[in-house]
Amino acid sequence: MVWSIVLAGSLNEGKLKECSNAVNEAMIQIGNKYMIEYVITALKEARGIEKIIVAGPQKELAKIYGRDEDVYLVERGKTIIQSLLNALSLLPAEDVSRILVVTGDIPLITSKIIDDFLSRCSQEEADIIYPLVKKPLNELKFPGVKRTYVYLKEGVVTGGNIILINPQIVPRNAQKAEDLVLLRKSPLRLAKYIGFRYIFKYLLRNLSLKEAEARVNELFQIKGKAIIVPYPEIGIDVDKPSDLELVRKVLA
């Protein structure tokens, strides 16, 4: 069994603001629950999860989980990486080799999906294991949904919003991760950081999954692994009105 961290610190300052006046996206109402409740319920019902740490609006979350012995709360950080570091500070003193990091905006996730992902990960030896979903499957299950797709030699894929990670690698790579997030706003600087050769191969749709993994491993000095999974629910993150409309229909 592994510990899980839920990152639920995003303020409701983007496109979802027109749909809800909730201060945090995690506290947007879906049916008779807050969005984050669907995620935490799935984690609590999963056989492979031991305890849950939530980095988010601590005061508001305490109203729901303040007396829950399986859920620990910590205040959100200014960035997603800082929120992760805040959550890691609550891990038990004993050695924890793997944690499941989940974003709080994927309310379609289920305990079955979580347990299956953990089972697939148990067959891999890596510091980070990241799920990918193939585009045809994603569009079959959720036709018309807008997703960011990556074009690789093996096919067109989109990423999931859960990740199995060795917590020991986070502190030493935190600044690199922060820098990479900032560089996304400058395509030229991002290309220079990643390497123009890889960018050109990607643009020509000639970059393989193994090459992408190798470059990430080189940049962060880790052993990372991407695996193809058959459940697009892990990639349906709610960050715009059309996403919220979709999940409300599905969960209704």
Domains in the chain: boundaries = 2-251
Q: By C-alpha distance, which of 159, 125, 145 is closest to 231?
A: 159
Q: Tens digit of pLDDT per residue, the chain (252 long)?
A: 999 999 999 998 989 998 999 999 999 999 999 999 999 999 999 999 999 999 999 999 999 999 999 999 999 999 999 999 999 999 987 778 899 999 999 999 999 999 999 999 998 999 999 999 999 999 999 998 888 888 899 899 999 999 999 999 999 999 988 888 777 666 677 778 888 888 888 888 888 999 999 998 998 999 999 999 999 999 999 999 999 999 999 998
**pTM for the complete prediction?**
0.92
**How does pLDDT run across 55-64, given as a tens digit for each residue?**
999 999 999 9
CA dihedral 44, 127, 78, 76 (to 10 degrees): 20
Q: Look up the CATH number of domain 2-251.
A: 3.90.550.10
How far does the chain reach from its first CA to its final CA, in angstroms? 31
